[in-house]
Chain A
Amino acid sequence: MRLLTKINRNYLVLLSVMLIIISIAGYYIIKLRFQYEAKEKLLQTAGLIHEQIRQTGATINLPPVIEVRESRKHKVQEPVFKEIFIKNKAEDNEEEPYFELWETVNISGEYYDIKIRQSILEYEDMIRAIAYPLLAMLLSAFIFSFLINYRFNKTVWKDFKQNLQALENYSFTHGGELSLKDTNILEFDHLNAIISGLMEKLSREYRLLKQFTENASHELQTPLAIISLNLEELLQEQMPEEQLSRVYSIFQSIKKLDKLNRSLLLLTKIENEQFINEELINLTTIFKEKLDEYKVLTEPKNIKIFQNINADFKLSMNPELAVILINNLLLNAIRHNIEKGEIKFFSTADELRICNTGINKAPDERVIFKRFVKQNSSSFGLGLAIVKEICNLYALKIKYSFTENQHCFALKK
């Protein structure tokens, strides 16, 4: 949940609760006040009636508002107030609420039961008349303040959001300055300062690491060249076969080391995005060319090739990397194939799939694209890692699957 939403939600809940409490309290306060007024009024009316009886000895009856009777109980009763309902004969026997004063008084030796009532229909109307506008006013005040708050929060968070976007778009591989906007809010600026410092440190470390790999690989090339040149010269010499085969064995290892070094250098270069030049490449065509070229590898193994080309798969990418991508996928399919196996190649405008027979066991999918994960001892396990890096660079999706004894790699745009 977004912070702003959360704050607003809490705010809204709080406002609603407050509104309910204020409404209820308001209702009772008004009611009590009204009752108090009504009591005063009823007592005042009772006083007038007492006076009337005392002076004239006559009783007034005006039901249901005033009822005065001589009491059978000869006992004084202090005024009691209560709410009652009385059927209104004029209006279809509808029950109407009344507030009633009931007392028994002794006036000039006579006991009188006095009941004075006041309709409280009007007071409920009055509560409504007071409560509704009050509620409306409160509600609009709340809505208004909520909106203002929302608006205000938005502006407060705007810079923060921009900074977040800047962070999200920042890439170590692209490098460049990370510029975070000053928000003029202490907490945010503090966060910015911490992040900027951290990023600077990280990007320095990252650069160093990149440089190290690249420099190390570069520096290795010259000694490797010297060793292999001298070994090749040594192979030209007349010497016993045993010695010769030892020299050759060293030579082979150096060639492997060289190959490894080149692969690492290539990986670093892809990661460092040093392949800038891009053009529209037809990967299907490259695949067909490579397939032709690698007949030297497929024919001795009697590997059958099936091609199913619906449309050409085209992509804007570096031509050198395009060749490496296809080359590694194809070599992978050849190297891990079996005698009299198959390679199936499918091409549509947005998917390229290469399937091959091989050992009837699916390798661990989680590590298949990881570096130095090898399926046989003679490879370094960098071929597919390079494939993955190239795919990452051009936002291609690559997926491995193993179904019906076929190992498949699918490239999707």
Chain B
Amino acid sequence: MKILIIEDEFELLIAISNYLIKENYICELANNFITADEKLTIYEYDIILLDITLPDGNGLDLIKTIKKYNSNAGVIIISAKNSLDDKINGLDLGADDYLTKPFHLSELNSRVKAVIRRRRFDGNNILKFNEISINEDSKSVIINEIEITLTKKEYDLLLYFLINRNRVLTKEAIAEHLWGDNIDSTDSFDFIYTHLNNLRRKIKEAGGKDYIKMLYGMGYKFTDE
């Protein structure tokens, strides 16, 4: 999977690319409009992360170039402007998703994975991890060939864990992923624990192992290490 990251803030560019490289993506970087435009006309990418505010142009204009030369690529807009208009404009122009700065890298990963899944038309949408397999199209979860029934939140939680396995997921990141911006640390994150326990119980009942490691006071990690 080849990703082009278009972002004018150098440090952000590096942080994102370091993370994505670790996740086994091939990354190319562009920190201005002209470089991005050039790369887009010459090379092909699977995913493009696009910052709207570039020093030499509006990132939204790059979507036209993408549609012309990289029509198969998925586009995720990254913007400091948390405005619905930008969001709507971006999505209208053909972007697949929209992420507001600052975001969690685990969130970025989930969004990238979701875009890849949507872009892939061969129907191979089964995510496997040891005895657990998730069919992202039918949103069903099978453990040891037994299908288990999960609520929407439990399913989202499991998928989020599986996509971001071996990674420390803070309570903040989980809460934001499942409930959006509005619930924050003002409210205690106890509700995550409730959902998590239900999920654990259901996996265990189906004979699955408990891969969810609790990091006290901080978050969770899904790992078989």
Contact = CB atoms under 8 A, between A and B. Distances in A.
Given A233-B18, A248-B218, A255-B184, A226 B11 contact: yes
Given A232-B104, A233-B105, A274-B83, A226 B9 contact: yes
Contacts, number: 104
A222 B106 CA distance: 18
B118 interface: no
A127 interface: no
A378 B188 CA distance: 10
Nearest to B104: A232
Interface stretch (A54-62, A107-115, A293-301): A293-301
Contact of B185 (A224, A227, A252, A320): A252
Contact of B105 (A232, A248, A293): A232
19 contacts: A222-B12, A222-B101, A225-B9, A225-B80, A229-B15, A229-B105, A233-B15, A233-B18, A235-B168, A236-B168, A244-B215, A244-B218, A255-B184, A296-B179, A296-B195, A297-B191, A299-B191, A327-B182, A379-B186
B213 interface: no
Given A221-B102, A225-B101, A226-B15, A297 B82 contact: no
Residue in A224, A226, A293, A297 whose Cβ sees the most chain B Cβ within 10 Å:
A226
Given A229-B12, A248-B217, A222 B80 contact: yes
B187 A335 contact: yes
Interface stretch (A81-89, A158-166, A173-181, A258-266): A258-266
Interface of B: 9, 11-12, 15-16, 18-19, 80-85, 101-106, 167-168, 170, 172-173, 179, 181-187, 190-191, 194-195, 215, 217-219
The 9 closest A-B pairs by CB, nearest first: A225-B102, A296-B191, A221-B80, A225-B101, A229-B15, A228-B102, A226-B11, A235-B168, A320-B84
Interface string A310-349: 0000000001100000010001001100000000000000
A335 B186 contact: yes
Contact of B82 (A252, A255, A262, A378): A262
B9 to A, nearest CB: 5
A256 interface: yes
Contacts of B103: 225
A294 B81 CA distance: 27
B102 A252 contact: no
Given A229-B16, A378-B186, A218 B80 contact: yes
Contact of A224 (B83, B102, B183, B215): B102
Contact of B102 (A258, A296, A299): A258
A300 B186 contact: no
A235 B9 CA distance: 22
Contacts of A230: 11, 15
Interface residues of A, number: 46
Contacts of B81: 218
A299 B105 CA distance: 30
Contacts of B83: 269, 274
A331 B182 contact: yes
A218 B80 CA distance: 7
Contact of A297 (B102, B105, B183, B219): B183
B185 A256 contact: yes
Contacts of A275: 84
A287 interface: no
A300 B190 contact: yes
A245 B218 contact: yes
Contacts of B172: 251-252, 255
Given A293-B179, A327-B182, 17 more contacts: A218-B80, A222-B80, A232-B104, A232-B105, A235-B168, A236-B168, A245-B218, A248-B170, A252-B185, A265-B82, A277-B84, A296-B191, A300-B191, A300-B194, A335-B186, A335-B187, A379-B186
Contacts of B186: 331, 335, 378-379
Given A229-B105, A255-B184, A331-B182, A296 B194 contact: yes
Contacts of A222: 9, 12, 80, 101
A300 B172 CA distance: 18
A251 B102 CA distance: 12
B103 to A, nearest CB: 7
Contacts of B105: 229, 232-233
Nearest to A230: B15
Contacts of B219: 235
B82 to A, nearest CB: 6
Given A222-B12, A235-B170, A229 B102 contact: yes
Given A232-B104, A235-B168, A226 B12 contact: yes
A138 B190 CA distance: 91
A356 to B, nearest CB: 14
Nearest to B153: A296
A273 to B, nearest CB: 13
B19 to A, nearest CB: 7
Nearest to B16: A229
Interface in A8-63: none
